[in-house]
Chain A
Amino acid sequence: MNINLTVKKGESFRAFYLFFIVHTIQIGAGLMGVPRVIFAEAGSDAWVSILLGGLYLHFIAWIMLLILREYENADILGIQMDLFGRFMGYVLGTVFLIYVFLILLTVIRNYIEVVQVFIFPEVPVWLMALCLLFLMVYCLLGGLRVVVGASFIFFLLTIWLSLTIYKPFTYMDMGHFLPIMEASPMEILNGARVMSYSVLGMEVLLFIYPYIDNKKNAALPVHLGLGLTTFLILLVTVVSIGYFSPYQLRETVWATLSLFKIISFSMIERFDFIAVALWMMVIIPNIVLFGWMLVHGMNRLYNAKFKPTLYGIAGAVFIAAVLIEYRMNINVLTDITSKVGFYLVFVYPLIVYIALMVRKLWRKGRSA
């Protein structure tokens, strides 16, 4: 396997789109339930946790870019090979792919569950999974251009949803935030940690970086994208804490979606139905980008052919999504995924960076 990738002219895209890629892959299944999760850890000081977590996001993105810039045109799979050797490279790469597979699975399963709870209690899992995977396969067959385009267009088609939050915003009770800094520092840090499932996905940067046209301008869109993600999570959580009573919020699994319930227009009485259906468009960039990472990673690591891998992965996700119902709880799987993701995305890059620096110093020492 080559450490650096050669990218054909038509395959690359402008750094500008990184904003949408990084943002849309983060926002997805996690945002639907994030207020409750953080609230459970940090209480009414959840916003502090989110701010801290957001800062850490930027720090990790900075580290990621530092790592990637050490190489000419490499992704994380190549860098691992180079740093830790062939065997460890394969092991770590496989761990990465398994993690991406898991997160793809949980995104699909979580959305199906939401649809079952909010719209169709009876809708079979296999049908929804089939629909979503069909869209994924159809999109991926168009190549990276269509994948990036999907993330961009679906962002435009859904971002207006965040404007509807003004309605619950007006019903907020500021008393819910008092007293400030009630939570202990440990609780706040825990709150920041459990936020991780909602912001997983920024590792796409480590995969997609070689395909960026103007790599010098990559930092700004990435940080802006992360900033928007943090802002949206903060907004949703703050409004949820203000809108729901603490007891209610502990019981509301998908607080974000429940916020939509009170929104109504002159032609539409219950907006939450539309919002949940529209959430499919929020989910698709997730599925598509994670799917691309998987297929692309399989190709990089094992030289797997594009189409058979794509169909194989879609089939595997489909079977797993249907089987989970009987064998395993979705929440357990989500917890496992978010734990693996936490270490892989928010801790592991630090190790890579330190290893990179140590090797650099060592080489310098040797040559001097």
Chain B
Amino acid sequence: MDTKVPLSKDTYIEELKKKFNQSPDLICKEIQLKQQTLVIHFVNYQVKKDLVERDLLHPLTGARRSWSVEDLKNKIPLASSESVQSLEDITNKLIHGSVSVYIEGVPDVVLFALPNLEQRALNRAETESLVFGPQISFTESLVTNLNVIRWRLDTDDLVMEKIIIGERIPSEARLIYLKSLANDENVNTMRQRLRDLVVDQVEDTSVLSQFIEDSSSTVFPQLITTELPDRFCLSLTKGRVGVVLDKSPTVLVGPMSLFDFFESTEDLYMRWNMGTFIRMLRFFAMILSIMLTPMYVAALTYHYEIIPASLLISLGQSRATVPFPPVIEALLLEMLIEFLREAGARLPTKVGQTMGIVGGIVLGQAAVKAGFTSNILIIVIALSALASFTAPSYLMGSAIRVIRFPMILLAGAWGLIGIMFALSFLVIHLLKQESLGRPYLAPIYPLDLKDFNDFLYRTTFQRNSRRPDFLMPKDKERFNDQKANQKNDVRET
């Protein structure tokens, strides 16, 4: 299969050109020395040209001697050099930013890697922004991401296994975990799924996660994709397994429980009581977001008896002019909110904000004035939409928003019974989910009271000395909590 490097200079140049489909970007430079001819190849924009000139061309032409392969490898001041014999290898390396040096008549070609990677600098996190705490986010470059992870977790415990994903357009992925913590079964499951994956290409980690997740039919994400290095590293130190994929600005972590999707690293950076309060707030917001609109629809369509008399009057007044049944009314407004969200996400930032205000205020006001909806429904819908945005994970927030629509329809069809049916279905559905084969509803089911601290609420760090049982880490103790509680400072008397 592999084509040998031809010994004649002209055939070599011709063959390589063919390999590159006559691309004008393949630069070929011949250097005529006293006793021999060298041919240098590189792809114009893939290499750092100034380095090529300074560290390669200069020594090559400046030396008054003839070069052998060994000389090239040893005497040229560049870190990575290797010699290959097949044209395919040379082509492959050239694409990835190497410079090849061919000595006429020698079957070995020496390659120097001088890749010029276009990448953006480390930026502030956009989708998972924190109020305080570390601000940087991952970028699209694998090397940069690995660099950041190594920098945060500078221990020899850190394992980074290389796995190539994709047949046609291969991307390099790294399976990352802490050797002394991560449960072997979890690591094996993740590794197995990555290795067994047969696809032509994977665009991004979010695509990758959809390929390897336990269940594809559910709306709930089972692995977290995050752009925050601190969140990624925190997960690893708890004993989770991570995946970093080249060309993707987010990384993948698992196994995850449903409750992890409501956790933000900010909970840790705040004091424990604030953290707990905010966590509770998020859970409450989720329940509210799912239940509020369906309850409104159910109560107004079938069970107006459950609304207290004082509230019923104002509700009746505001709904008096509305010509639709509540379910249509609610769906209309929910659609409006979803349109606003989607439009805001698609439009350029400056226009988006204005559009949000125009759409939200003007449309909402006009809808009420025109008698399309009731004032109270606007409050209800705005509350539940707002609540759904409190989820730290964008995927989970979207899942919550999607669940609402069937629930509204069921509430419109069978009232409270419909809501209960939907909720029961939801609970059973969640019970059936798994993340990397681990139960999704942990630590509620299977019940593990010790894991409540960390999954459902936070206590002081001194008390939180254990890693969660859910992940079955090899070392459960983070530190000795007795010692952590000792205070040996001087007391003023």
Q: Chain A: residues with CB nearer than 8 A to chain B?
A: 13-14, 16, 115, 119-120, 123, 128, 131, 135, 138-139, 141-142, 145-146, 149-150, 152-154, 156-157, 264, 266-271, 273-274, 276-278, 280-281, 284
Contact = CB atoms under 8 A, between A and B. Distances in A.
A13 B309 CA distance: 49
A268 B428 contact: no
B306 A270 contact: yes
Contacts of B431: 139, 142, 146, 149-150, 153
The 9 nearest A-B residue pairs measured at CB: A277-B416, A142-B432, A149-B431, A270-B305, A280-B420, A149-B445, A269-B308, A277-B420, A139-B428
B455 to A, nearest CB: 15
B416 A273 contact: yes
A262 to B, nearest CB: 13
B259 interface: no
23 contacts: A120-B302, A120-B414, A120-B417, A123-B417, A128-B417, A131-B417, A135-B428, A138-B429, A139-B431, A150-B428, A150-B431, A153-B427, A153-B445, A266-B308, A267-B311, A268-B306, A270-B306, A273-B305, A273-B306, A273-B416, A278-B420, A280-B421, A284-B428
A23 to B, nearest CB: 15
B427 A269 contact: no
A127 to B, nearest CB: 8
Interface string B411-422: 000111101110
Contacts of A270: 303, 305-306
B64 to A, nearest CB: 74
A269 B425 CA distance: 27
Nearest to B425: A135
Contacts of B420: 277-278, 280-281
Contact of B306 (A115, A146, A274): A274
B417 A146 contact: no
A115 B415 CA distance: 12
B441 interface: yes
A138 B425 contact: yes
A274 B305 CA distance: 11
Given A120-B417, A146-B431, A16 B306 contact: no
B441 A149 contact: yes
Contact of A154 (B427, B446, B447): B427
A135 B445 contact: no
A155 to B, nearest CB: 11
B411 to A, nearest CB: 11
B444 interface: yes
A1 to B, nearest CB: 30
Given A274-B416, A280-B417, A146 B432 contact: yes
B307 interface: yes
Contacts of A274: 306, 416
Contact of B421 (A119, A131, A154, A268): A131
A145 B440 CA distance: 12
Contacts of B417: 115, 119-120, 123, 128, 131, 277, 280
